[in-house]
Every structure is written in C-alpha cells, then in structure tokens.
C-alpha cells in the first residue's frame, strides 16, 4: 500500500494551547513527486512538516511516512529523510568540505561512501572549486546549494524543504529547481513549502493551506480548473473608482490591479459573472470592457485563502 | 559504535570551531593570565616598604636601635631624618611619607614607665591597609622595651603562621583564583556554545539527523573539560613560577579537585543554555551566578565572618567547596580523602543540575 505513496496522513492535527496550528490535514503524497505546500505565514506549513519529520507529536490523527508510523518510528525515519531549513543552518565557521564531512559522519556513511558522495555532490552543485572556503563567506545561492548538497548527502528517500528559496535571487531559484527535478527523477520524493506562485506551479501537485487546514489540493492544472470563483478582467481609465465600487459588492471576492487592468474574482454562485459586473458598473455610470480570464494559480490561491475582502474588511 | 562516531564528529567540529573563534580562544588563555597577574600582584594586602621619616629627638643608642629595627621589618623604609614632630606632620600631609616615627627626647626614661608609650607613630590613616600595616610596627616597638620587664610584656599569644609563613597574599589568592577562573569561563563557554548553536539555527539541522540529545551534549562538553584542565595547568604553572605558590599535596589531587569543579560548572552551563534564548542572556545568567560565587565563596571575604544566611547560600555554590578543597590540597597538603564532604557537595551539585539540564534540553528542541 505504501509502495507508491511516500506520505499519507489522516486528520493530522496539532494544537498549541487553544490555537489549532494544523487542523485535520489529510495528505497523500505519491513517491517521486515534488509536492508543494502553498500558504501564507502562520498557515501551518512548518508545523505540518515538523510533525511529518517526527519532531512534533500530533495532537490527533495519524501519519505514515515512508511506511513508518509517526511519531512512533521517528528515529528510524531520520535516516531516510533529509531536511533543509529555511535559514542556512550549516556551520558558517567551517569550510564546505568540513561541513559535508561532518554530515557524512553524523549519518555514519562508510569511508568509501563518504569520499564518493562528497565528490559527487561537490560536482553536481558546482562547489568543487571552493571546498576550503568557509560556509559563512558564500553567496546566498552558493549557501543554498551547499545546504541542499548536505541535506541529500545520505541519499534520503524523502526530502523536506521549508521555504528553501526565500533568501536567493531568481537565477539561483531557477537553478535550485533544476536540482529538485533531477532528484525527483532519481526517485526522491520532495515536500516543499513556498510563498512563490511560480514555484508552486512547478510542483507535480500541491496543497493550499490556510489557518492550518488544506483549503484546496491537486495538480496545478486541476486547481486552476476547479477554482471556486469566476475570474474576469476589466479595463478602464479610472481604475481606482471602479475598484472602490467593486469592493462594495458582497459577491466580489477580490480585486487586484495588474498594470492597466483589474483582475476580479467573483463568487462562483453568480451565473453570468461578466454580465453581472457590467450591469453593476453601469448602474454606477462606469462603462467598462469586461472579459473572462483564464484562472491562474494565484487566483486559486487568493480565492481559497482570501474569502474576505481585505479593503472592505478594514 | 555509531553513537561514538557521532559524538566524535561533534567533538571534532567543536574543536575546529573553537580554534577559529579567536575571541573565545583568547579568553581561554587570556583570562587566567590576566587574572593571575592582577590578583597576584595588585591585590596585595601584605604591605611593605612604606615611606617613613624619623624625628629622633632622643638620639641615643637605644633610639637608633629602634629606628634600625623598624627598618629591618621591611614594613617601612626610612627615607628621611627630620628634627621635629611638626616636620613629620608636614611630610605626612604632603604625602611625602606614609608613616612618621617620632622619638621624644626622654625616650629612654619613658621606656621604664610601663603606663606610657615610649615613642609615637604618625600614620596616614586615609588608607586602611597602611593603617593596619603600621599596627604591625606598633607591636614591634612594644616588644623592644627594656630588658627587665620583658617577660611580663611578652605578647600573650605568639602567632605562628602555618602554611604561609611569609604571609604573601598570592599564596592565598592563587589557588582560590583557579576556582574563580574556572567558574567564570566554564559556565560561560558551555552556555554560550550551545545557545549559539540554537541562535544560528544549527540545532534545527541537527535534530533532523540521527544525532541524539545525549550525544550532542557529550560532544559539546568534552572539549571544555580539556580546556578547563588546560587552564588549571596554566594557573598552577604561573602560580608556581611567578608567585612561588607551593603545592603541598599531590598534583593528582589538584587535578581531581579541579575536575569536580569543572563538572559542576559545565552542567550549570548546560542548564543555563536550556534557559537562555540568546547568547547575551546566557552571559547575563552566568554573571548572575558568578557574582555571589566570588563574594561568598571565601575567596574574597572570610567565610566565618559572613552572616548565617550568606553562609547557607555559599554552601550551595560550587566555588565555596572548591576554595576549601584547593586551599587544603595546595597549601596544607591535605589529601582529597579528607575533604569528602566538599567533594560530595560538588558531586551532588553536578548531578542535580545535570538532571535538570537533560530534562529541559530535550524539551527545548520541541
């Protein structure tokens, strides 16, 4: 049953006092998938990951990771997983090679394994010219490559990445994702939490978390197809006024300005969203052009997490 | 086996980091050196060579003997001869001299009269240490009364100063100072070393690896045991070479006693590391503990003179017990086997703090 599934959870819940940090999360992550956790800060991404690593005990529910029951078999799991923290957490006052050797020792690799794998990682991540350089003096992108090299040195079956790209430039992010796909192609399952839509779009599948609960999940395509809102775009000279009018409508979920256009999410229960918006705007003497638009992952995210209109609420 | 390997990996990493952390490395060697020199040289209550002037109005054989004897004590150096008491007062006021010796013209006759003092010492009382040093001199002059009533006048108690016959303060200070230095550095180093690991996020990485709490603790602590012993060696050597502090007992006992204190301090450092959120907090907590240690342990002020409450607090502090042990071993040549109560106190302190530290340490990872 667990052959093709890396992570399976049932009603996984974690409470901190009265706060429910993770609320009945049901997850199925197939092997060799890059699975994304997309959600705002405090949505329970890190807490879920920590529970899946066996660092935090769930208040309720069950989790099976790589066929091991968590948290009971957490110690055995530790050898099979890799974990890359949001912050660079290797030793800045040790050199690249010293950091990797330390990790190799900690995972009890044999002498041959140690030599071969370190050489392999250095080449793969383009660090072979800097082996003696202290980690603290590396650039953001280099640090991140080193962190990934260290996290995968013991060839884990499952890799947890907690917002791994929050401190690097776009080019390094692109490179980083190339590495992730290489790993996935070799059979490694990757669970990655992120803020970035473009990263979420590259995942095989993802879950959108809000206030500790999964509010939507599936492949990016599925999520876009099943968005629980109509997406329309409006062009007009006075976007500020139109925006103000729209925000007063209860069935408008969100209004975002994109250059000269407004992107509007409208309640799914409205049948003819384009016509509805046109009529509403005409009533306030705004003659506008309204088109239907193809939903993006960002629209899915906004529709799923931002059911309240922030401006109207304020 | 694997566990040992992980401990060794952490140990090696710790030593590498230490050798690169120039500040900490400097502290390991610098603190003992500076403190020994400061306490050994500067804090010297054993005052000698006070500047003195003599006004000898008697100018007899007897009075000249008195001056010579005063000089012979080395407490004073006679730097001037004047004629009147008024001149002495002038020199004293101007700070030219610390002590004035006034010998009146009827000195010889006064010596026969036991109800009067024969000569006068004029002392700069603004410095209490000089005052007490001058008292020594007062005793001396009394002693040099005439021959006949000498038996009567002989002091009731003859003080025989064992273990530090020359009364050099360095001999008292250096052994106890070893404890002070170990208390300061050992607690601080361990506390900071672990808090730093957490502050920099390294701990987040380690808890996701097969490294176990106990392995991490051992790997982090062992290097500091050696550093502690290195400091002990440095202090003993400096004490012997510079201040001629004797080791009456065995060297083994010195190290064993020091080891007991190191263990107590390292476990306290561990406990602090589980309480402190930042390196700065760890430092504050260390000093919160360090100050009473230094004041109440008997290092600075005599234990017997302290009020009961302070004595109870002092009994809890490891340094108190170590000061007793090390003075016993180094100065009195006592054997550790005769100092079991103090050794036991250190051991209990270690076990209690270590238990709390281990309990709290695993929780702090959650």
Distance CA A172, CA A140 (A): 8
B2, B10, B11, B13: which to substitute to probe chain A, counting the most A Cβ within 10 Å?
B13
Model pLDDT, residue A251: 84
Indicate if A218 and A232 belong to the same structural domain: no
B10, B13, B208: which to substitute to probe chain A, counting the most A Cβ within 10 Å?
B208
| CA atoms B46, B333, B320, B359: torsion sign | positive
Question: CB distance B21–A93 less than 8 Å?
Answer: yes
Q: Is the pLDDT of residue B142 over 50?
A: no
What are the residues of chain A with a beta carbon less than 8 Å away from any beta carbon of chain B? 53, 55-56, 75, 78-79, 81-83, 85, 87-94, 98, 102-103, 105-108
Distance from CA of B216 to the nearest CA of A (A): 11
Residues of B within 8 A of A51 (CB-CB) are none
Distance CA A3, CA B256 (A): 58
CB pairs under 8 A between A and B: 64
Give the single-character DSSP code of A110.
Answer: -
Which two structure tokens, joined as six digits, stand for B205?
Answer: 């990485």
Q: Count the neighbouring beta carbons within 10 Å of the beta carbon of residue A258.
A: 10
Question: CB distance B204–A87 less than 8 Å?
Answer: yes
Give the single-character DSSP code of B299.
Answer: S
Task: Report, in angstroms and rounded to the nearest whole number, the Rg of chain A calculated over CA atoms.
Answer: 23
Residue of A nearest to B362 (CA): A55
Model pLDDT, residue B44: 61
Residue of A nearest to B201 (CA): A89
Answer whether A263's CB lies under 8 Å from A253's CB: no
Distance CA B209, CA B203 (A): 10
Nearest to residue A1, comparing CAs of A22, A31, A41? A31
Indicate if A142 and A278 belong to the same structural domain: no
Model pLDDT, residue B161: 55
Q: Is B35 exposed, middle or buried (0-12, 13-18, 19+ CB in 10 A)?
A: buried
Model pLDDT, residue B158: 53
Question: CB distance B211–A108 less than 8 Å?
Answer: no
Paired sense of beta strands A34-38 and A189-194, if any: parallel
Minimal Cβ distance to A78: which of B8, B205, B209:
B209
Model pLDDT, residue A307: 60
Model pLDDT, residue A250: 84
Indicate if A183 and A247 belong to the same structural domain: no
Distance from CA of B198 to the nearest CA of A (A): 9
A51, A106, A191: which to substitute to probe chain B, counting the most B Cβ within 10 Å?
A106
Indicate if A242 and A97 belong to the same structural domain: no
Q: Is the pLDDT of residue B155 over 50?
A: no
Distance from CA of A196 to the nearest CA of B (A): 23
Measured in degrees and rounded to the nearest 5, phi and psi for residue B300 equal -95, -45
Model pLDDT, residue B299: 84
Model pLDDT, residue B115: 67
Structural domains counted in chain A:
2
The CATH number linked to A286 is: 3.30.70.920
Minimal Cβ distance to A102: which of B9, B20, B208:
B9
Model pLDDT, residue B301: 79
Paired sense of beta strands A158-162 and A81-84, if any: parallel
Q: Which residue has the tokens 């230094």?
A: B294
Question: CB distance A98–B8 less than 8 Å?
Answer: no
Answer whether A191's CB lies under 8 Å from A159's CB: yes
User: pLDDT band at residue B2, thresholds of 50, 70 and 90?
Assistant: confident
pTM to 2 decimals?
Answer: 0.77
Minimal Cβ distance to B208: which of A83, A92, A93:
A83
Distance CA A120, CA B169 (A): 64
Distance CA B58, CA B106 (A): 6
**∠A106-A108-A111 over CA atoms, to 5°?**
120
Distance CA B185, CA B73 (A): 40
Residues of A within 8 A of B21 (CB-CB) are 93
User: pLDDT band at residue B146, thresholds of 50, 70 and 90?
Assistant: very low
Question: CB distance A106–B366 less than 8 Å?
Answer: no
Distance from CA of A193 to the nearest CA of B (A): 17
Indicate if A248 and A132 belong to the same structural domain: no
Distance CA A151, CA A35 (A): 17
- At A191-219, the pLDDT tens digits run 999 888 888 999 999 999 998 889 889 99
Answer whether A35's CB lies under 8 Å from A99's CB: no
Residues of A within 8 A of B207 (CB-CB) are 55
Distance CA B167, CA A44 (A): 69
Q: Is B303 exposed, middle or buried (0-12, 13-18, 19+ CB in 10 A)?
A: middle
Question: CB distance A94–B208 less than 8 Å?
Answer: no
What are the residues of chain B with a beta carbon less than 8 Å away from any beta carbon of chain A? 2, 5-6, 8-10, 12-13, 16-17, 20-21, 200-202, 204-211, 365-366
Question: CB distance A85–B200 less than 8 Å?
Answer: no
Distance CA A15, CA A59 (A): 6
Measured in degrees and rounded to the nearest 5, phi and psi for residue A255 equal -130, 125
Q: Which residue has the tokens 């602590």?
A: B221
Paired sense of beta strands A229-235 and A261-267, if any: antiparallel
Last residue of a domain, one of A224, A243, A263: A224
Indicate if A242 and A173 belong to the same structural domain: no
Q: What CATH class has B50-153? A: alpha beta
Question: CB distance B209–A106 less than 8 Å?
Answer: yes
Minimal Cβ distance to B205: which of A79, A89, A108:
A89
- State which residues form the domain around A99: 5-224
Answer whether B313's CB lies under 8 Å from B319's CB: no
Last residue of a domain, one of A224, A246, A277: A224
- At A237-266, the pLDDT tens digits run 788 888 888 888 888 888 888 888 889 888
Distance CA B130, CA B142 (A): 19
Last residue of a domain, one of A205, A224, A243: A224
Give the single-character DSSP code of A95.
Answer: B
**∠A281-A285-A291 over CA atoms, to 5°?**
35
Question: CB distance A85–B211 less than 8 Å?
Answer: no
Give every residue of chain A whose pLDDT is below 50, as ranges.
1-2, 308-314
Minimal Cβ distance to A107: which of B12, B20, B210:
B210
Give the single-character DSSP code of B40.
Answer: I
Distance CA B206, CA B225 (A): 23
A54, A58, A102: which to substitute to probe chain B, counting the most B Cβ within 10 Å?
A102
- At B108-141, the pLDDT tens digits run 787 777 666 777 888 776 766 677 777 677 666 5
Measured in degrees and rounded to the nearest 5, phi and psi for residue B97 equal -130, 160
Indicate if A115 and A251 belong to the same structural domain: no
Indicate if A110 and A176 belong to the same structural domain: yes
Question: CB distance B5–A79 less than 8 Å?
Answer: no
Paired sense of beta strands A213-218 and A205-210, if any: antiparallel
Residues of B within 8 A of A94 (CB-CB) are 13, 16-17
Q: Count the neighbouring beta carbons within 10 Å of the beta carbon of residue B202.
A: 20
- At B63-102, the pLDDT tens digits run 888 888 888 877 788 888 888 888 888 888 877 888 888 8
Question: CB distance A94–B204 less than 8 Å?
Answer: no
**Residues near B132 by beta carbon (within 8 Å), at least 6 away in sequence:** none
Residues of B within 8 A of A74 (CB-CB) are none
Output the 3-class SS for B116-141.
Answer: CCCCEEEECCCCHHHHHHHHHHHHHH
Answer whether B353's CB lies under 8 Å from B267's CB: yes
The number of angstroms, rounded, from the C-alpha of B24 to the middle of its chain's C-alpha atoms is: 23
Q: Is the pLDDT of residue B242 over 80?
A: yes
Indicate if A192 and A246 belong to the same structural domain: no
Model pLDDT, residue B255: 94
Indicate if A34 and A106 belong to the same structural domain: yes
Distance CA A252, CA A275 (A): 13
The domain limits of chain B are: 2-43+168-365, 50-153
Indicate if A213 and A124 belong to the same structural domain: yes
Answer whether B36's CB lies under 8 Å from B43's CB: no
Question: CB distance A92–B200 less than 8 Å?
Answer: yes
ipTM of the complex, rounded to two decimals:
0.78
Minimal Cβ distance to A91: which of B5, B17, B209:
B17
**∠A115-A120-A124 over CA atoms, to 5°?**
155
Indicate if A162 and A244 belong to the same structural domain: no
Question: CB distance B204–A91 less than 8 Å?
Answer: no
Distance from CA of B203 to the nearest CA of A (A): 8
- Please state, in angstroms and as integers, the Cα–Cα distance from residue B41 to each residue in A50, A67, B15, B161, following that order: 57, 69, 33, 21
């Amino acid at each position: 049953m667990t052959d093709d599934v890396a992570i399976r959870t049932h009603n996984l819940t974690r409470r901190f006092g009265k706060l429910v940090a993770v609320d009945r999360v049901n997850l199925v992550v197939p092997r060799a998938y890059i699975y994304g956790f997309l959600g705002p800060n405090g949505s329970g991404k890190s807490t879920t990951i920590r529970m899946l690593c066996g660092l935090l005990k769930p208040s309720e529910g069950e989790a099976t990771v790589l066929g091991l029951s968590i948290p009971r078999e957490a110690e055995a799991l530790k050898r099979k997983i890799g974990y890359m923290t949001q912050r660079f957490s290797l030793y800045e006052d040790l050199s690249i090679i010293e950091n990797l050797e330390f990790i190799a020792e900690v995972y009890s690799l044999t002498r041959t394994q140690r030599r071969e794998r370190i050489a392999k990682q250095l080449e793969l991540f383009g660090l072979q010219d800097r082996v003696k350089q202290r980690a603290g003096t590396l650039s953001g992108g280099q640090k991140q490559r080193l962190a990934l090299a260290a996290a995968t040195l013991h060839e884990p079956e499952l890799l947890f990445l907690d917002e791994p790209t929050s401190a690097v430039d776009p080019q390094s992010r692109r490179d980083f994702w190339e590495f992730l796909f290489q790993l996935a192609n070799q059979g490694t399952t990757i669970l990655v939490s992120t803020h970035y839509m473009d990263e979420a779009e590259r995942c095989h599948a993802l879950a959108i978390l809000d206030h500790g609960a999964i509010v939507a999940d599936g492949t990016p395509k599925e999520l876009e197809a099943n968005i629980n809102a109509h997406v329309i775009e409006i062009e007009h000279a006075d976007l500020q006024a139109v925006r103000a009018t729209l925000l007063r409508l209860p069935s408008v979920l969100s209004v975002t300005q994109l250059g000269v256009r407004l992107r509007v999410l409208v309640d799914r229960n409205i049948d003819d969203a384009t016509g509805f918006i046109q009529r509403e705007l005409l009533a306030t003497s705004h003659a506008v052009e309204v088109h239907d638009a193809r939903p993006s992952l960002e629209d899915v995210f906004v529709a799923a997490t931002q059911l309240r209109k922030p401006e109207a609420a304020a | 086996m694997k566990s040992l390997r992980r401990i060794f990996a952490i140990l090696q990493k710790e030593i590498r980091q230490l050798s690169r952390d120039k500040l900490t490395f400097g502290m390991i060697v610098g603190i003992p050196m500076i403190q020994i020199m400061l306490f050994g040289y500067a804090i010297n209550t054993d005052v000698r060579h006070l500047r003195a002037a003599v006004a000898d109005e008697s100018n007899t054989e007897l009075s000249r003997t008195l001056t010579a004897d005063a000089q012979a004590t080395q407490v004073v150096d006679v730097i001037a001869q004047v004629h009147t008491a008024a001149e002495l007062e002038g020199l004293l006021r101007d700070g030219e001299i610390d002590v004035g010796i006034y010998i009146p013209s009827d000195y010889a006759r006064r010596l026969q009269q036991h109800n009067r003092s024969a000569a006068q010492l004029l002392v700069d009382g603004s410095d209490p240490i000089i005052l007490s040093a001058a008292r020594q001199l007062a005793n001396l002059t009394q002693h040099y009364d005439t021959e006949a009533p000498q038996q009567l006048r002989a002091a009731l108690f003859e003080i025989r100063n064992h273990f530090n016959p020359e009364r050099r303060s360095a001999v008292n200070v250096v052994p106890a100072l070893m404890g002070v230095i170990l208390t300061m550095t050992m607690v601080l180093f361990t506390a900071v070393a672990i808090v730093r690991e957490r502050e920099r996020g390294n701990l987040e990485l380690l808890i996701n690896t097969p490294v176990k709490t106990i392995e991490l603790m051992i790997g982090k602590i062992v290097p500091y045991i050696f550093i502690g012993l290195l400091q002990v060696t440095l202090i003993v050597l400096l004490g012997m070479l510079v201040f001629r502090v004797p080791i009456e007992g065995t060297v083994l006992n010195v190290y064993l006693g020091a080891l007991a204190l190191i263990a107590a301090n390292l476990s306290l450092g561990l406990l602090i590391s589980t309480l402190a959120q930042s390196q700065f907090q760890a430092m504050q907590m260390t000093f919160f503990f360090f100050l009473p240690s230094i004041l109440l342990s008997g290092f600075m002020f005599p234990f017997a003179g302290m009020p009961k409450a302070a004595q109870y607090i002092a009994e809890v502090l490891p340094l108190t017990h170590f000061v007793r042990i090390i003075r016993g071993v180094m100065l009195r040549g006592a054997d550790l086997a005769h100092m079991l109560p103090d050794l036991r106190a250190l051991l209990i302190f270690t076990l209690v703090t270590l238990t709390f530290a281990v309990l709290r340490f695993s929780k702090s990872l959650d």
